[in-house]
Structure formats: structure tokens, C-alpha cells
């Protein structure tokens, strides 16, 4: 079953700005799906339409088979949204925000309180439960929006740049929480500008640019298109201008560091052997390619 | 959603509204009671003592119903307009828009919040009026009917104002330039029978006149207008505003891009 099916989706804003030019893509149930694109590409518009915050101009959107036009309320019960910008009432207490959200889905207050406790503890907000949301830090505000989006146990969770502006530790905690949710069966759609995040978490990806889908495939398949990878090699002893090797690029970064570029058709062993024959002992090898990032830039720039 | 779930949703919105206006009660509940106490002192005691009876009742007795109705109108209106617009402004209204809450429940929930605040303030002013004049109730049914219809009507009007408003200025224009003049010219301080024919006829186009007089009938048994016509007018405006609000929400006017 498809968690989300978008067909020929158009959006033209008042004033004539065309945000979406007939995009189509599907997200399978249980998937961890990345929706990527540069600023202004149409990602947030697409998410806004899926979550009923933006009216579409044309096309169809089905959430677990429910058309958002004809079975809007049924479709909405499946979706949890974590928006890009903080949109909680700043004067409301943390617990009230989460429990009230459950109430909007018809969940009894007693059940909602128990769920709120679970999610607030899970997301490290339990100590802040009685505070008004405006006193929370940026990372806490993001986590509050996640707790709010999960309170009705949605089958499809949409995360619009959930880790933007949060510290490294919080980001990693959020990654493991998202992975756990996905493993438990929640379908997740993620938009992010941290392509490392998408590469690490997502199985499938759609890249949107200027209102059009320019790539829609699995992350694995997309990465297989990568032509070249860059590695940093740390050497045991200082190196002085290693001999070049035909067809390979070897650059000296500093006394004990080399940078090499290896194309897909080339063999890593050959270059290691080449360096070894010069008496260069390699201590460590590190892949520094922003792999998805490179592909993303190639695709977007090509367009 | 089922009836039970809808009821939970409705209760959630109403509860949230009550929590909101009781949390800031010095801003929401107290000012009207203090203002009306001043009206009782100045217009009822000081000036009223110099004015003769109207329809065989003292001037103080005559103005009490209108002075109770005035804060009911302004509070039910301002509760909904400020609450809904601030949730639009902070975008927390999206919590409701992404949920399966039917549009009519959003309206009913906010309206109920406005009605409750209007009635609480109305009761507060009524209690305050006891310090100046014993309160008589001629027809409890009409008292309840008119106070409910009025607060529902102005809550609905406040909701529409909030939906259409784009900036904070927009939510103060209607109360300042429409609601306040209509309220003051709605027969609170005078009987329209005292007016020249032209102004008397013009006054009949003011819907607040019917509400003030209907409520006055409930308390004192006197009215300048037909009280059943007043019920009809109120029901007509309630239906028109409710349907208009429903249409605005369905289209997402002021809420969805």
C-alpha cells in the first residue's frame, strides 16, 4: 500500500508564482523518504498541500488511499506534521499543547495525558512540561513539535527540516528517534538541507527543483551514479611530493596527509600499491565526499 | 469522526478558550465590570437622579439591562476575535487545520468560548448592579434567550473579523468604528420613543436595539420594539454569520495559502 500518492500536483499562488508544475511521486508504506530541493523549489508547498495547509491548484493527493479532496478528514488522521517554523502558541504550557492536539483528533484526555508523558519523556521535555513554550530553547521547540505531531500515532510523519539549527548532540538523538519510529512502522517523509542526514536515514528520495521532480529513486541507486569519490589518507611518516600516477589524482595536503580522487572505473588497490612502492605507509583512509551532496548539486545545477 | 470524538474535540477547544481568558482575567473579565460600575455611578446615580422616569421606571432601572448587555456584546466579540486572530498570527491555528476537526466544530468551539466569557462578564456586571439597584426579573426565559442569542451573534461576528483580518489593526477597526457606535445608539441610555421620527426609524435598522430591548423586556417587562421580531432578527444574523464563517473556513480564506 502507498502511504502517499501524488499525481500531477499543481500550485499557482495568487500573483502568478508557479510553485509546483504537475509533480507526481509515491511513497510506500514504511518508507523513510527524503524530499530534497534548494530553497524555493516547492518542497514546503508540496508538504503544505499534503497536510491541508495550502490549497492546491490541480492534481490529486492520496494518503493511505484517502483522497484529500473527498475524504479530507480521514486522510488527515493519518498525518503528523512537524513544520519548518515554530507554530505553537507561545503562551501555552508544553503539556497543554500536546494534549490539546490529541483532543483535536478526538483522543480522550486521559489517554492523551499518558501519551504526552511518554513522548515528552522520550524527547527529553518532561522537565519542561509545565513551562510555556516561549521559554524553550530552539532544539526543545523542535522536539515539542515532534511530540505534538506524534500524539495521535500518525502512520505518516512529515518532518520539514526538523534538525535545522539544532546542536550536534540533539540532531543525533533526533536521528536515532526517527530511525526507531520508522522501524516501528511509521512512514517518514523528511525534507532537509543536510544531505548527510538524508543519506544516512532515507531509503528513497525525490529531488524537486523549480516546481518539478528532477529525480525520484532509491538513495542507493542515486549514490551509484556518483562517478568519483575523494579520500584523505594519513601517512605514518612525512611525505614529500609523491610520484604521480597516470589517470589518478594525488594531492598533498600537508606533510602527513594526502588527498586522492578515485573514479568508479578505477581500482583503489592500484593507488595504494603505488604509494606503498614509494615507501609511504598509510595509517588511515577517510572518505570525505559529500556523496549525496555532490549528486544533488550536479542535478540541480544541470537543470 | 464519530459523535464521541467530535465531542472531545469540541470540549478541547472550549476548555482551551476558558483557560486562555481566565489565565489573563485582569485583562479579560475585570475591566468591563469596573467600567460598568462607573457607568452605574455616573449615569445611574449622578445624572440619572436628575432625569425623570422612563415608562414609569427610574432611569437607573432603565439603563441596567443595557449596561449588562453592553459588556456581553463587547466581550463575546473581543474574546473570539483576539483569540482566533492571535492563533492565526502565531500560526498555532495550523494545529486545528491539520487535524480532522470539522470546520463547524472549530466555529462552535470558539463561539462557545466567546459566549461563556460574555455570560460570565454579564453575571459579574449584574452582581455589580445590585450595589445600586435591586435586580428584577420579569421573564427569565427571555433573559436567557436574549443573552445567549446576543453573545452567540457577536461571537460569530468576532470570528468572521478574525478570519478576514490580516493585521492587528484589522481587529480593532470593527469594534471601534462599528460595534461601539451601534451599541451606544442601541437604546441603552434612552428609549427610542423619545427620538424624533427620522432618528427613531433609523434606529430600527440597528440590530443591537432589538437585543437591548429584548433583554430589557426579560428584566423589566418593557420594550420599545417587538421582542419576537428581535428573536427573529438575531436568529437571521446568527444563521447568516455561521454560514458565512463556514464558507470562509472551507475556502481557507485568511488561513490557507
Give the ipTM of the model, two decimals please. 0.90
Residue A82 contacts B, CB cutoff 8 Å: no
B131 DSSP 8-state letter: T
Residue B90 contacts A, CB cutoff 8 Å: yes
Give A172 to chain B, closest Cα distance, Å: 27
Q: Do B8 and A73 touch (CB under 8 A)?
A: no
Q: Which residue of B has its CA nearest to A51?
A: B98
Name the residue ranges covered by the structural domains of chain A.
2-224, 228-302
In a domain, B35, yes or no: yes
Q: Please name the residues in contact with B30: beta carbons below 8 A apart, sequence gap of 6 or more.
A: none
Confidence of residue A289 (pLDDT cuts 50, 70, 90): low
In this structure, what C-alpha cell is assigned to residue B212? 437591548
User: What pLDDT score does A56 carry?
Assistant: 95
Asked whether residue A265 carries a pLDDT value surpassing 80, the answer given is: no
Average pLDDT over residues B193-215: 93
Q: Which fold has domain A228-302?
A: Alpha-Beta Plaits (3.30.70)
Q: Do A53 and B96 touch (CB under 8 A)?
A: no
In a domain, B257, yes or no: no
Give A121 to chain B, closest Cα distance, Å: 22
What is the rounded CA–CA span in Å between residue A290 and residue A199? 9
Q: How many structural domains comprise chain B?
A: 1
Q: Do B4 and A106 touch (CB under 8 A)?
A: yes
What is the rounded CA–CA span in Å between residue A299 and residue A226? 11
B100 DSSP 8-state letter: -
The whole model's pTM is what?
A: 0.87
Average pLDDT over residues B69-93: 96
Q: Do B100 and A76 touch (CB under 8 A)?
A: yes
What is the rounded CA–CA span in Å between residue A240 and residue A255? 7
Of A89, A92, A107, the CB nearest to B8: A107
Tens-digit pLDDT profile for residues A68-79: 999 999 999 999
Is A228-302 in the same CATH topology as A2-224? no
User: What pLDDT score does A286 carry?
Assistant: 85
Structural domain span for residue B114: 3-251
Residues 42-81 of A with CB under 8 A from B: 48, 51-55, 72-74, 76-77, 79, 81
Contact residues, chain B, for A52 at CB < 8 Å: 97-98, 256
What is the homologous superfamily of the domain A2-224 according to CATH?
P-loop containing nucleotide triphosphate hydrolases (3.40.50.300)
Residues B138-174: b if buried by 16+ CB within 10 A, e if exposed: ebeebbebbbebbbbbbbbbbbbbbbebeeeeebeeb
Average pLDDT over residues A95-113: 97
Asked whether residue B169 carries a pLDDT value surpassing 80, the answer given is: yes
Tens-digit pLDDT profile for residues B85-141: 999 999 999 999 999 999 999 999 999 999 999 999 999 999 999 998 888 899 999
Amino acid at each position: 500500500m502507498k502511504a502517499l500518492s501524488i499525481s500531477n500536483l499543481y500550485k499557482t499562488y495568487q500573483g502568478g508564482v508557479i510553485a509546483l508544475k504537475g509533480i507526481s511521486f509515491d511513497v510506500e508504506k514504511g518508507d523513510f523518504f527524503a524530499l530534497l530541493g534548494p530553497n524555493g523549489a516547492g518542497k514546503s508547498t508540496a508538504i503544505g498541500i499534503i497536510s491541508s495547509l495550502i490549497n492546491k491548484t490541480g492534481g490529486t493527493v492520496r494518503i493511505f488511499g484517502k483522497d484529500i479532496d473527498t475524504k479530507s478528514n480521514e486522510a488527515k488522521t493519518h498525518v503528523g506534521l512537524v513544520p519548518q517554523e515554530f507554530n505553537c502558541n507561545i503562551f501555552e504550557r508544553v503539556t497543554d499543547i500536546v494534549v490539546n492536539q490529541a483532543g483535536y483528533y478526538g483522543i480522550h484526555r486521559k489517554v492523551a495525558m499518558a501519551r504526552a508523558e511518554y513522548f515528552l519523556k522520550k524527547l527529553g521535555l518532561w522537565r519542561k512540561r509545565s513551562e510555556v513554550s516561549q521559554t524553550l530553547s530552539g532544539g526543545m521547540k523542535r522536539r515539542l513539535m515532534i511530540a505534538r505531531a506524534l500524539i495521535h500515532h500518525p502512520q505518516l510523519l512529515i518532518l520539514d527540516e526538523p534538525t535545522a539549527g539544532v546542536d550536534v548532540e540533539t540532531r543525533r538523538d533526533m536521528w536515532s528517534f526517527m530511525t526507531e519510529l520508522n522501524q516501528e512502522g511509521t512512514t517518514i517523509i523528511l525534507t532537509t538541507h543536510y544531505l548527510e542526514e538524508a543519506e544516512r536515514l532515507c531509503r528513497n528520495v525525490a529531488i524537486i527543483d523549480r516546481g518539478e521532480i528532477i529525480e525520484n529513486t532509491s538513495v542507493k541507486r542515486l549514490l551509484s551514479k556518483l562517478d568519483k569519490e575523494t579520500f584523505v589518507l594519513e601517512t605514518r611518516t612525512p611525505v614529500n611530493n609523491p610520484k604521480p600516477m597516470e589517470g589518478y589524482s594525488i594531492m598533498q595536503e600537508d606533510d602527513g596527509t594526502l588527498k586522492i580522487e578515485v573514479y568508479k572505473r578505477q581500482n583503489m588497490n592500484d593507488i595504494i600499491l603505488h604509494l606503498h612502492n614509494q615507501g609511504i605507509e598509510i595509517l588511515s583512509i577517510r572518505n570525505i565526499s559529500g556523496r549525496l551532496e555532490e549528486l544533488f548539486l550536479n542535478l540541480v545545477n544541470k537543470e | 469522526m464519530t459523535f464521541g470524538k467530535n465531542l472531545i474535540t469540541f470540549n478541547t477547544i472550549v476548555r482551551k478558550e476558558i483557560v486562555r481568558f481566565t489565565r489573563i482575567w485582569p485583562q479579560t473579565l475585570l475591566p468591563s465590570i469596573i467600567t460598568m460600575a462607573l457607568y452605574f455611578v455616573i449615569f445611574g446615580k449622578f445624572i440619572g437622579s436628575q432625569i425623570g422616569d422612563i415608562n414609569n421606571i427610574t432611569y437607573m432601572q432603565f439603563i441596567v439591562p443595557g449596561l449588562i448587555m453592553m459588556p456581553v456584546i463587547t466581550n463575546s466579540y473581543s474574546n473570539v476575535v483576539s483569540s482566533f486572530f492571535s492563533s492565526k498570527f502565531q500560526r498555532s491555528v495550523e494545529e486545528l487545520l491539520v487535524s480532522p476537526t470539522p470546520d463547524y466544530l472549530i466555529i462552535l468551539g470558539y463561539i462557545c468560548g466567546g459566549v461563556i466569557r460574555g455570560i460570565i462578564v454579564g453575571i459579574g456586571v449584574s452582581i455589580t448592579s445590585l450595589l445600586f439597584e435591586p435586580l428584577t426579573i420579569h421573564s427569565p426565559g427571555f433573559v436567557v434567550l436574549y443573552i445567549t442569542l446576543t453573545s452567540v451573534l457577536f461571537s460569530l461576528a468576532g470570528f468572521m473579523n478574525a478570519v478576514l483580518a490580516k493585521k492587528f489593526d484589522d481587529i480593532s477597526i470593527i469594534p471601534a468604528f462599528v460595534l461601539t457606535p451601534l451599541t451606544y445608539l442601541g437604546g441603552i441610555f434612552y428609549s427610542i420613543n423619545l427620538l424624533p421620527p427620522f432618528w427613531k426609524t433609523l434606529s430600527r435598522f440597528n440590530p443591537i436595539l432589538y437585543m437591548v430591548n429584548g433583554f430589557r423586556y426579560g428584566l423589566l417587562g418593557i420594550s420599545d420594539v417587538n421582542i419576537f421580531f428581535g428573536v427573529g432578527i438575531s436568529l437571521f444574523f446568527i444563521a447568516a454569520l455561521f454560514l458565512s464563517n463556514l464558507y470562509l473556513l472551507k475556502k481557507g480564506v485568511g488561513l490557507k495559502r
